[in-house]
Amino acid sequence: MLNQTDLSRIDLNLLVLFEIVFQERHVGRSAERLHLSPSAISHGLGRLRALLGDPLFLKTPKGVVPTERASQLAASVAEILARVRGVVSTATPFDQRHSTRRFVIGAPDGISSVILPSLLETLREVAPGVDVGIRQLLPTQGFTALHLAWRDALKELEDRTMDIAIIPFDDIPVRFHKQKLYEEEFVIAVRKGHSFQRNPTLNRYCEMEHLVVSHTGDVTGFVDVELAKKSLTRRVALTVPNFIFALSVLAETEMISALPRRFLEIHGARFNVVAVKAPLPLPRFSINVVLPKVAMMDAGLAWLVQLLGQVRTGNDRSFVLRSGKRNRSMHS
């Protein structure tokens, strides 16, 4: 344990360095974010290792990985820095017009591709120096319970490998802040002019070749659960790892797929893919912004949460920004 004399000699910047390296898992990228040289990062890590008595980060061909001790420390370091930032922000309010911060947002691609066009347009207007990184979030395979399927995302938030998560999950533990962005539902997506548009019956639906978005290649999804209730099945002819890939395939084939409605409204027209009312019940769910409550002490993060909350859906189902401008309009 450190005594008071040792504590007085600790450079708080070392904790910032620890946080960035833990997030980036790469010395070079960490150096870019901190506007330092890679050698300065390595020197700082050496001081941290001596201070904490642990290697902290181990070299790999692709960067560095945290040790078990570093992973244990990450949440505590994040909390300490969040409190310090909160104290500093009360004296120097966050000014988005001049900020050059970079925020990391985690979300499934069916969500990030919905919020990103509006978010980037808004940032260009009100915070031109702010940068954004998007992390692809995926539910943990093998769990039907949502609190288990998304537990890795919550852990990443507490480890500060990302700032905010936007996920289709409602039952958030009380230690997290939750803010609803919008309601989502699935529709059937087909190439414009597809024969299914003229005859969207359940029997015809079961006869079609289906495309399923699944990053693991698993062919079973919520559609199959609904079909099984009626003693029906379908043929999954293809799986693809993301929703944009799905649109490109649908545009060139006779396949059909269940896709998020808002995603299709924003991106479907570019691929000549349209929505058809589903002949069976498909899920509807809330999309929520999630981050640790302690992180809301960071004025910059609190601002970003508020900004995301201003992305709304109007009666025409297009996204409306506070500026009044409009955009054109998770395993299935």
Task: Write the CATH number of the domain with boundaries 102-183+287-320.
Answer: 3.40.190.10
Answer yes or no: CATH 1.10.3470.10 is held by domain 4-91.
Answer: no
- Equal CATH topology for 102-183+287-320 and 185-284: yes
CB of 73 closer than 8 Å to CB of 81? no
Q: Which residue has the higher pLDDT, 101 or 82?
A: 101
Q: What is the pTM of this model?
A: 0.67
Whether residue 214 contacts residue 224, with contact meaning beta carbons closer than 8 Å, is answered with no
Quick one: average pLDDT of 262-279? 94
- Res. 207: pLDDT tops 90: yes
Cα-based distances in Å from 316 to 141, 173, 311, 312: 35, 34, 14, 11
pLDDT more than 90, % of the chain: 60
CA distances from 187 to 34, 138, 286 (A): 44, 21, 16
Average of per-residue pLDDT across 78-90: 71
| Cα gap 154→290, rounded to integer Å | 8
Break the chain into its structural domains and give their ranges: 4-91, 102-183+287-320, 185-284
Least confident segment among 5-14, 49-58, 251-260: 5-14
Beta bridge partners of 104: 133
pLDDT value at 138 more than 50 = yes
Mean pLDDT of the 248-255 span:
96
Q: Which of 22, 301, 19 is nearest to 176 (CA)?
A: 301
185-284 — its CATH code? 3.40.190.10
Highest mean pLDDT among 9-18, 263-272, 307-316: 263-272
What does the pLDDT look like over 241-250, one tens digit per residue? Answer: 999 999 999 9
pLDDT band for 310, please (50, 70, 90 cuts).
confident
